[in-house]
């Protein structure tokens, strides 16, 4: 059912019930009398006017097998009333008062459960995101069982803004905010010309939105290079907003379209998608590499996206930048569409000792003759990765960070043990004012010397490369710019770094 009207007025006792898939467009205003009823279920609503009054009921159908994000698309919905009419999951034993709604706290960078029969949370703020998990009456997790959740209140009639939050947690600034679509409509998130990201391009700290993926059980990165993403009514995500800025949901961007209104360029993009799987549990994580006109080997805002758990030791796979590597983990990296043979990509994996892992790949539209190889520096073995070939190993020790695995794109055949390939992909950066990290030197002795900007040597030491080495800096070192010189039996590497 589609409804198009200049004004929509529902008298006392009147009822309009929009069925699943309906598109309702109102050119001016909506007025619902106190005894009238307007129900929208799994449908969309676009209202051009700014004088909307009365209560609207929005109903959304969810399955009860996983945690899912949601926001309230209406104003005034009480959380206790919502919980009482919803088939929420609940905790057991000492946690039996924990109900299946979780709220993110930017002050503590932590989650809190809604407590049974509690009034403490008040009403849902419009556009603030939550997690929800439903449960069947028989307490079975059956993905084929669906339940309705519903919200009752007035709909937002203007653009919705969120002020930046910037709290210090464990000594670090936390700008993460869990927000979502405040409209009963769809919004394009990442079109390069007109989208939610484009509108907020200058206000986002990383120019990346993070959406929850129930398959990977993590938040995955959406930027201008990833596949087109249309956010549905009441769907939530994470974003980092610059200090002092606002993130805006512009009312003029809402649409009835479930899919992108522009042709996705993803099918013609050159890309490598890597996936690591824990073969004991079936858990998997992914990282993506795109080859894009105008991209560099360093950081490209909007096209390179740090992993949501940047620097955290969760099971996963990621890459590091080829230039100006500061030790950050990237879930999406964009590289130039040339010099494939010269670009060697550091691959990071986090997994515990004894884990049997498989690394697989999906390759799209790379130039003819360019193959993809994974180098394992611990064994000096190259493995070609393609749709039929994967890499599998059991880890003898805990693995965290880069230094062991590198990805090559080349026309050469790298299938021999100890293939003589020159890898100059060495990263040097400080992780703190007292620690220097050297990544990329494996199974050989190296000398490291550090000079200040006046040329005075302040450190001269050596180490045995194991892929990732931490070098203690002098205790009396001060913040500033330094020159690091690395010397091995085959090469000399000079790097300017900033120590803070």
The domain spans of the chain are 55-263, 269-410, 427-499
- pLDDT tens column, 49-67: 766 778 899 999 997 778 9
What is the pLDDT, as a whole number, of residue 469? Answer: 87
pLDDT for residue 140: 60
For residue 438, how many other CB atoms are within 10 A of its CB? 23
Q: Is the pLDDT score of 98 beyond 90?
A: yes
Q: What is the mean pLDDT of the chain?
A: 89
| Res. 487: pLDDT tops 60 | yes
Residue 5 vs residue 10, higher pLDDT: 10
CB 452 within 8 A of CB 478: no
Mean pLDDT of 177-200: 95
Tens of pLDDT, residues 279-328: 999 999 999 999 999 999 999 999 999 999 998 889 999 999 998 888 89
Q: How far apart are CA 207 and CA 301, in angstroms?
A: 6
Would you place residue 417 in the very low, low, confident or very high pLDDT band (cuts 50, 70, 90)? Answer: very low
Q: In 3D, which of 465, 441, 440, 437 has the Cα closest to residue 450? A: 437
Model pLDDT, residue 439: 83
The edge-to-edge listing of strands for the beta sheet with 37-41 is 15-18, 37-41, 56-63, 146-153
Average pLDDT over residues 190-219: 94
The single residue listed with the structure tokens 């998608």 is 273
Contact 28, 49 (CB under 8 A): yes
Q: How far is CA 157 from CA 47, 51, 130, 327, 366, in A?
A: 8, 7, 22, 44, 47
Contact of 237 with 231, CB cutoff 8 Å:
yes
CATH topology of domain 427-499: Immunoglobulin-like (2.60.40)
Per-residue confidence (pLDDT) for residue 421, from 0 to 100? 45
Q: Tens of pLDDT along 215-225?
A: 889 999 999 99
Cβ atoms of 156 and 182 within 8 Å: the answer is yes
Give the pLDDT band (50/70/90) at residue 176.
Answer: very high
- Name which residue leads in pLDDT, 261 or 224: 224
Q: What is the pLDDT of residue 141?
A: 58
Percentage of the chain with pLDDT > 90? 60
More confident residue, 416 or 364: 364
Asked if the model's pLDDT at residue 265 lies above 60, the reply is no
CA distance 29 to 157: 9
Is 52 in contact with 29 (CB distance < 8 Å)?
yes
pLDDT the model gives residue 48: 86
Q: What is the pLDDT of residue 468?
A: 80
* Rounded distance between C-alpha atoms, residue 374 and residue 382, angstroms: 6
* Phi and psi torsions of 303, nearest 5°: -125, -20
| Cα angle 399, 315, 403; round to 5 | 35
Structure token digits, residue 190? 């990442």
Q: What is the pLDDT of residues 132-157, one digit of tens each?
A: 999 865 556 566 678 899 999 999 88
Judge residue 353's burial from the number of C-beta atoms within 10 Å of its C-beta, 0-12 exposed, 13-18 middle, 19 or more buried: exposed
| Tokens 């939610």 -> residue | 196
Q: What is the pLDDT of residue 261?
A: 42
Burial of 170 (0-12, 13-18, 19+ CB in 10 A): exposed
Quote the percentage of the chain above a pLDDT of 70. Answer: 93
Quote the pLDDT of residue 424. Answer: 60
15, 36 in Cβ contact below 8 A?
yes
pLDDT at 419 over 70: no
Torsion of CA 125, 21, 145, 99, to 10 degrees: 0
User: Helices (H), strands (E): how many in the chain?
Assistant: 2, 40
Rounded CA gap, 436 and 323, in Å?
Answer: 17
Please say if the pLDDT value at position 440 is more than 80: no
Please report the beta strands in 7-127, taking only residues with DSSP state E, as ranges in sequence order.
8-10, 15-18, 23-26, 30-32, 37-41, 44-47, 56-63, 68-71, 98-105, 110-115
User: Can you name the residues that pair with 134 across neighbouring β-strands?
Assistant: 88
Q: State if pTM tops 0.85.
A: yes
């Amino acid at each position: 059912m589609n409804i198009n009207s200049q004004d929509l007025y529902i008298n006392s006792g009147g009822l309009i019930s929009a069925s699943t898939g309906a598109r309702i467009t109102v050119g001016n205003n909506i007025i619902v009398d106190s005894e009238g009823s307007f129900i929208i279920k799994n449908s969309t609503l676009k209202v051009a006017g700014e004088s909307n009054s009365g209560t609207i009921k929005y109903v959304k159908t969810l399955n009860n097998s996983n945690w899912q994000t949601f926001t309230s698309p209406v104003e005034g919905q009480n959380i206790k009333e919502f919980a009482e009419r919803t088939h929420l999951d609940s905790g057991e034993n000492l946690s039996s008062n924990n109900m299946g709604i979780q709220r993110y706290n930017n002050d503590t960078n932590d989650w809190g459960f809604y407590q049974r029969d509690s009034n403490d949370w008040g009403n849902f703020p419009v556009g603030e995101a939550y997690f929800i998990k439903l449960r069947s009456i028989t307490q079975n997790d059956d993905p084929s069982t669906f339940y309705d959740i519903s919200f009752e209140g007035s709909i937002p009639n203007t653009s919705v803004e969120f002020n930046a939050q910037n709290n210090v947690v464990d000594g670090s600034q936390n700008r993460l905010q869990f927000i979502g679509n405040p409209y009963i409509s769809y919004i394009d998130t990442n079109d390069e010309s007109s989208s939610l990201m484009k509108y907020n391009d200058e206000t986002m700290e990383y120019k990346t939105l993070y959406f929850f993926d129930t398959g990977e059980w993590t938040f995955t990165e959406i930027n201008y290079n990833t596949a087109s993403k249309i956010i549905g009514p009441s769907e939530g995500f994470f974003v980092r907003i610059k200090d002092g800025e606002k993130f805006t949901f512009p009312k003029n961007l809402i649409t009835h379209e479930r899919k992108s209104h522009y042709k996705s360029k993803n099918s013609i993009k050159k890309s490598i998608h890597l996936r690591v799987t824990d073969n004991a549990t079936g858990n998997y994580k992914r990282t993506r590499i795109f080859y894009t006109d105008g991209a560099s080997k360093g950081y490209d805002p909007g096209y390179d996206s740090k992993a949501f758990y940047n620097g955290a030791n969760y099971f996963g796979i990621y890459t590091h930048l080829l230039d100006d590597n500061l030790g950050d983990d990237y879930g999406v990296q964009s590289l130039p569409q040339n010099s494939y043979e010269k670009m060697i990509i550091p691959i990071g994996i986090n997994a515990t000792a004894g884990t049997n892992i498989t690394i697989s790949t999906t390759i799209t539209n790379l130039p003819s003759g360019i193959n993809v190889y994974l180098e394992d520096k611990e064994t000096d073995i190259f493995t070609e990765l393609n749709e039929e070939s994967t890499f599998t190993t059991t880890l003898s020790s805990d693995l965290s960070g880069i230094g062991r695995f590198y990805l090559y794109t080349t026309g050469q055949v790298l299938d021999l043990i100890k293939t003589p390939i020159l890898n100059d992909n060495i990263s040097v950066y400080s992780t703190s004012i007292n620690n220097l990290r050297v990544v990329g030197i494996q199974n050989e002795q190296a000398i490291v010397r550090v000079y200040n900007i006046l040329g005075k040597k302040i450190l001269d030491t050596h180490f045995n490369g194991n892929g990732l080495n931490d070098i203690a800096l002098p205790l009396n070192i001060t913040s500033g710019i330094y020159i690091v010189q690395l010397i091995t039996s085959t090469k000399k590497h000079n790097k300017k770094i900033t120590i803070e």
